[in-house]
Structure 1
Amino acid sequence: MLEGVNVALGVSGSIAAVKTVELAHELRRQGATVRAVMSPSSQHIIHPWSLEFATENDVVTDITGRVEHVELCGYDGWADVYLLAPATANTVGKIAHAVDDTPVTTAATTALGSGVPIVIAPAMHEPMYDHPGVLEAIERVEDWGVSFVDPRVEEGKAKIASEEAIVCAVARAAGERPLAGRHVVVTSGATTESIDPVRVLSNRSSGKMGRAVARACYVLGATVTLVHDGPVVPYATVRQVESATEMLEATLEAATGADVLVSAAAIGDYTVEKHEEKLRSGETRTLELEPTPKLLDTVRAEQPSLPIVGFKTETSGEDSKMIEAARSLLERVDAGFVVANDASVMGADRTRALLVHGETAAEFDGTKQALATEIGRSIAVMLGEETA
């Protein structure tokens, strides 16, 4: 997600500074090169050697004759993005008023002046976060184009955002955003149909591919709605559903006014009448299965002009049959393109897929996140926001 991106990591004096070692590791796992900048207060919480170890680069603890702030964040400087995590109330207030009395705030002033993208992840006690002056400072700095990663407000504290939220925000700030201003709806994962209060009918979909697509579209600038039976995620508004009917209803509502629908969910083909009490075990039973409505057909009937990206999973293992099934779906719902893959990739981090556009079928082999980025860029081309 951050391949080839240079991240200057500013660390101020919040107790959340203890999390920056793992944050630096995660940024690097995602492909970034990281150099840390520390305020004097942060050095009372975490030793610079820890971040030197985590980044494998020297840590800036003072501004010297090397003018480190300009080297990192000036015109033609090293950094592609300046990430300030954690940011205290004091630091945010200083940035809002061009006070640069620490290496961290001096780097921020320099980045703002030179146009280097800035991402700030605040961390402080909740009453401080609610202070009118702090809120005013955040609003002021946001007006200058700085991106804030909202903290997790828990236990009376505005805790630093999750590593996933911060990494996604950095990737979004550092890269091109061809989907900016666009609303993308993504369905993801499995649906479940209740047999009784305990048992369900479902399938093996993990939702990894759908979540990856939602994440990639967010990084490419989109506002994303994710419809799935899964957790809240930092890169999308989540509509949590369980059954095929619930997914259909939520998708129809979310897709109203959307720019594109990506249907990556493995929606159950059948439902069953639910028994109100648990069925006793040890008895032979017959379940009568009823077909569920086809989500894409229903959406297409209600929104004839909505761009759609479909997914088609097969078990034959033959490319020709996957392409045939994908083209059948492509024609049936007038999709922009269809992603075809084999069921064997369910739950895996890597995948092999065929992107079927009309008469062409492009092969992809790699991680699901890399495929998601390819899908996001193909959506931008489909919407006329990017050239092929």
Structure 2
Amino acid sequence: MADHASLAGKRVLLVIAGGIAAYKSLELIRRLRERGVTVRAVLTEAGARFVTPLSVQALTEDTVYRDLWSLTDESEMGHIRLSREADLLVVAPATANLLARMAAGMADDLAATVLLATDKPVLVAPAMNVRMWQHAATQANMALLESRGVLRVGPNDGVMACNEFGPGRMAEPMEIVDAIAGIFAQDAHRPLAGRRAIVTSGPTHEPIDPVRYIANRSSGKQGHAIAAALAKLGAAVTLVSGPTRLPDPAGCSVVHIETAREMLAACEAALPADIAVCAAAVADWRVDGVGDRKLKKDGGGPPALALTENPDILATLSRPGDRRPALVVGFAAETGDVLAYATAKRARKGCDWIVANDVSPGTGTFGGGDNTVHLIRADGVESWPTMAKDAVAARLAEAVAEHFIKDFKAK
């Protein structure tokens, strides 16, 4: 039996679908609550034919959510919030029908909608007739879901309600409890599991004409390292990268862009997120009115380039509102008065933290392997020794994880 110490204080959203195995979900709720787990339940229309909402409510001591169109639930809870306030979603029993709808990305009832809308881990406990489980369609659906990160416990072999024998019996409640405990125990070493992060990296290229552009010397090494470090701690990372020569970091979803406007659009498309780290060296200006042909020398001197200001990605992501990430981290690359300029930038942009570094000629920061940074927060400044950029990234990722652990405990 797995160590259940990791279960205390966790929040599980249990989806109960239609099938005779639904009666086991009642025992599962009881076993989880004995171990300090808060359980909320979504009961499908078919599930309510096997277990009553009153039974589920009595065991969870919470509202049983059933109707996607309930105005009361939608105004007070909302299916998006319901799907994300849990630490883990468990589908038990997971019928062939519901697995198929999950694989297709359908949102035709509350259960399917919360499973589609969630950004948290999902564990399914399949339960169905042996022929249904072994059917090529079900196997393909399960393989697709597992490729997307959905976890599975069971099914077991045994005699079924239809008197057939074989794989298809839902895992026993304590087997599911053990699987849940294993997930949370693993997450203890991945403290950002279930968190979504956006990281920007590299330079932007702002075109002058079809062959020339305005850029800077950023290599993207620090931003890419931060994305990899956050992913290593369990975060689901979207890396929005300007043009670099670096390979895409493992475990990250990467969006390649060129301009500042494209970078902002990619960041907004990746919302909602818990964390945003703006490490990219975004060009402050772009040419107003890019030519569609290469500019030529005509003997009359260099052309006059009218510049216009680029969107401020850090300030935009820091703006108060429902879509603001809980933690927004900016970077300040300075060539003098580093702490003063960076502290003022944190206040001006409205972000939570600023990572400041000196990129003066001779420091080797741009394009180099090392970095010397200062982490500026509301409660003060931490000056870190010179480290490899990978080490800076790991230390920053640990600081992010610690921030969320403290925030969770405070609640």
CA deviation profile, 1:167-206 (whole Å, cap 9, x unmatched): xxxxxx8992111100010011000111111000000001
Which aligned pairs between 1:1-388 and structure 2 lie closer than 5 A?
143=152, 176-230=189-243, 232-254=248-270, 256-272=271-287, 273-281=289-297, 283=299, 284-285=301-302, 286-301=304-319, 303=321, 305-306=324-325, 307-316=327-336, 321-343=337-359, 344=363, 345-364=365-384, 365-384=386-405
Q: CA deviation at 1:144?
A: 6.9
Return the alpha-carbon distance in structure 1 between the equivalents of residues 405 and 347 of structure 2: 21
Q: CA deviation at 1:336?
A: 2.2
CA deviation profile, 1:312-334 (whole Å, cap 9, x unmatched): 00012xxxx21112211222233
**Do the aligned residues in 2 keep the contact of 1:189 with 1:206 (CA within 8 Å)?**
yes
Q: CA deviation at 1:263?
A: 0.3
Return the alpha-carbon distance in structure 2 between the equivalents of residues 385 and 377 of structure 1: 12
| Matched residue type, 2:390 | Q
Q: CA deviation at 1:385?
A: 5.7
Return the alpha-carbon distance in structure 2 between the equivalents of residues 336 and 223 of structure 1: 20
**Do the aligned residues in 2 keep the contact of 1:336 with 1:382 (CA within 8 Å)?**
no
Return the alpha-carbon distance in structure 1 between the equivalents of residues 335 and 371 of structure 2: 14
Percent identity between the aligned chains?
35
What SS does the corresponding residue of 1:354 show, helix, strand or coil? strand
Return the alpha-carbon distance in structure 2 between the equivalents of residues 308 and 204 of structure 1: 24
What SS does the corresponding residue of 2:405 show, helix, strand or coil? coil
Return the alpha-carbon distance in structure 2 between the equivalents of residues 228 and 194 of structure 1: 17
Could you tell me the TM-score, scaled by structure 1's length? Answer: 0.53
**Do the aligned residues in 2 keep the contact of 1:312 with 1:338 (CA within 8 Å)?**
yes
What SS does the corresponding residue of 1:274 show, helix, strand or coil? coil
Return the alpha-carbon distance in structure 1 between the equivalents of residues 342 and 280 of structure 2: 15
**Do the aligned residues in 1 keep the contact of 2:227 with 2:249 (CA within 8 Å)?**
no
Distance 1:267 1:197, change over 3 A: same
Q: CA deviation at 1:233?
A: 3.7
**Do the aligned residues in 1 keep the contact of 2:315 with 2:351 (CA within 8 Å)?**
no
**Do the aligned residues in 2 keep the contact of 1:196 with 1:274 (CA within 8 Å)?**
yes
- Give the match for residue 3 of structure 1: none
Q: CA RMSD in A?
A: 3.1
Gaps of 5+ in 1: 1-129, 146-172
**Do the aligned residues in 1 keep the contact of 2:228 with 2:249 (CA within 8 Å)?**
no
Return the alpha-carbon distance in structure 1 between the equivalents of residues 306 and 377 of structure 2: 38
Distance 1:279 1:302, change over 3 A: farther
Return the alpha-carbon distance in structure 2 between the equivalents of residues 136 and 243 of structure 1: 39
**Do the aligned residues in 1 keep the contact of 2:315 with 2:350 (CA within 8 Å)?**
no
CA deviation profile, 1:205-245 (whole Å, cap 9, x unmatched): 01000000000000011000001124544321111111111
Q: CA deviation at 1:362?
A: 1.4
* Structure ID, larger Rg: 2
Return the alpha-carbon distance in structure 2 between the equivalents of residues 204 and 373 of structure 1: 23
**Do the aligned residues in 1 keep the contact of 2:204 with 2:242 (CA within 8 Å)?**
yes
Return the alpha-carbon distance in structure 1 between the equivalents of residues 194 and 187 of structure 2: 17
What SS does the corresponding residue of 2:346 show, helix, strand or coil? helix
Q: CA deviation at 1:246?
A: 0.8
Distance 1:233 1:374, change over 3 A: closer
Could you tell me the TM-score, scaled by structure 2's length? Answer: 0.50
**Do the aligned residues in 2 keep the contact of 1:179 with 1:385 (CA within 8 Å)?**
no
What SS does the corresponding residue of 1:177 show, helix, strand or coil? coil
What SS does the corresponding residue of 1:383 show, helix, strand or coil? helix
